[in-house]
Amino acid sequence: MGLYSKQDLKDSQELYQNCEFISKKTRSIYAWRAALWVRYCKEHSLDFSVTEDKLINFLDWLFEIDLVNKINTKKSYVPDILRDHMGSVICLWRIQTGNNPDLV
């Protein structure tokens, strides 16, 4: 299996489906990145809701699966890759909280 399955991507797309505060194009990009969040949650028998503890563990997991080396290109740097993937999950948190930018 690659970084995630087709079903992980489909599940991720559904999470962003009704989000109105980001464009359709951005939703598509975020869903692609958040497919790893879906895979992480499935592997750890968790629901897809975002919490601070899950975010911390997700970041650790991204290092465990060696994400950076699997998708690294000459134009990508570790902080950029991690920022992009975490940003997609933070967006899910905002969807969850009704677009409240304060992550409480």
Residue 64: per-residue pLDDT: 86
72 Cβ neighbours under 8 A, 6+ residues apart: 78, 81
How large is the average pLDDT for residues 4-9?
94
Q: Are 15 and 48 in contact (CB under 8 A)?
A: yes
User: What pLDDT, in 10s, does the model give residues 16-49?
Assistant: 988 888 898 999 999 998 999 999 999 999 999 9
pLDDT at residue 75, rounded to an integer: 59
The predicted structure's pLDDT at residue 101? 66
